[in-house]
Structure 1
């Protein structure tokens, strides 16, 4: 039985977590299934952007399936982490979260691991782990990089729940969209990315990640990036300025 559905429209892949009976909470088999989906996405040269969302109108992903764990289910996860995303290093293609309800625990960490995020107005976010004697290991690293430290600690140390308006104000999501237009808005963001040079997008993804890993910004400026060398050697590096000068759309190769 599959725990996610996958659809492709041109260069855009939509991945829908589908465990509605558990508010799209994930268990070990679902993590491995999603990891395989995103492995394929990363390898497929015809795919440029992925959108990940949850089935139904209640939850994006309610986190770890504690019922499965209580029933004696395995806690094993792939090296790529929760949902096959939270520990996936070296991605070259953007992933957009379309949040349609609860994003708790690992579901919230999945949002933090995506590159862009759009949320329905009724979406709720929470890292409740400290109230269960646990800690959100991924969020402990990601959230302080995405929020002012005191805001990050207020969420991590209390497990307080908050909504889409707060998420937007803090910069955790890019936009709030009504539920009936959520996927079309996510698609608009994806289309904007698809219209850009795939080599330039991959280069940007690489340098952003490497720059965040190096606190010395001067060293970052002076680093020689293999991805940038590949961009300079690509047809896109010539095609972009040429198309601009000729006042036409670029033909990326």
Structure 2
């Protein structure tokens, strides 16, 4: 499928999603949100794709957030059910997504990164939830996710002021996994390769259990994880047989993803 505001490519088991509005700092309008919803729908349904990277086109911006010019012209704040960029309210996605933040990540752009499982940022990347400065609020999950990621008081310092945070500070705060001094996509691909070396069934089971564990007690999380769909799929999979056999035979496992 051809998209107007998004580029999609595949490298083996890895999907690369590139926000492609560099002239607008990759800010997302209504059509871009719908395109991204379709992109992640297709990624979720494709059994041959096991991980994804999302990044921005150009050298300046990952995503400047919601297209405020569209809103000022009467375009509104309408989002698909799956949220900003078709991702921030997609709570059933068990496949891992890595954010390769190549520049400015403001508002909804920062919320995209927070909705990902890993965040790799270029040294010059900048993050903020500046919505209060324009009479809005971070309604794409930023309020909830940033607090969970770095703690209430540190998150409030960012959210109530809308202040900008460098990649180095983001790493120290804990919402960034790695700051890439050179090529952020190379760093993201290395992370993806390490994930793809593992069983995709195990990766999905782990992600689902980790996310559900955020909303439950430790006791209930440990006891209930055996019934999670991705965990049951892992335990009954061919990969669960292949892994121990490959270990015993001292060879690399041949994951099937089923």
Q: Which TM class, normalised by the smaller chain length? A: over 0.9
Rounded to whole Å, the distance in 1 between the matches of 2:18 and 2:100 is 10
> How far has the Cα of 1:163 moved from its partner?
0.2
2:201 is aligned to 199
Rounded to whole Å, the distance in 1 between the matches of 2:17 and 2:233 is 30
Deviations 1:174-226 (A, max 9, x none): 111134x2111111111111111011111111111111121x11111111323
Runs of 4+ in 1 over 4 A off after TM superposition: none
Matched, 1:82 2:81: no
Matches within 5 A, 1:16-27: 16-27=18-29
Deviations 1:143-193 (A, max 9, x none): 1110121101101111111100001111111111134x2111111111111
> How far has the Cα of 1:100 moved from its partner?
0.8
TM-score between the two structures when normalised by the length of structure 1: 0.96
SS of the counterpart of 1:13?
A: strand
Rounded to whole Å, the distance in 2 between the matches of 1:10 and 1:141 is 34
Matches within 5 A, 1:1-253: 2-137=4-139, 138-179=141-182, 181-214=183-216, 216-223=217-224, 224-225=226-227, 226-253=229-256
> How far has the Cα of 1:229 moved from its partner?
2.3
Aligned residue pairs, count: 251
Rounded to whole Å, the distance in 1 between the matches of 2:5 and 2:200 is 30
SS of the counterpart of 2:214?
A: helix
Q: CA RMSD in A?
A: 1.1
In the alignment, structure 1 segments of 5+ residues that lack a partner are none
SS of the counterpart of 2:94?
A: coil
Rounded to whole Å, the distance in 1 between the matches of 2:21 and 2:10 is 20
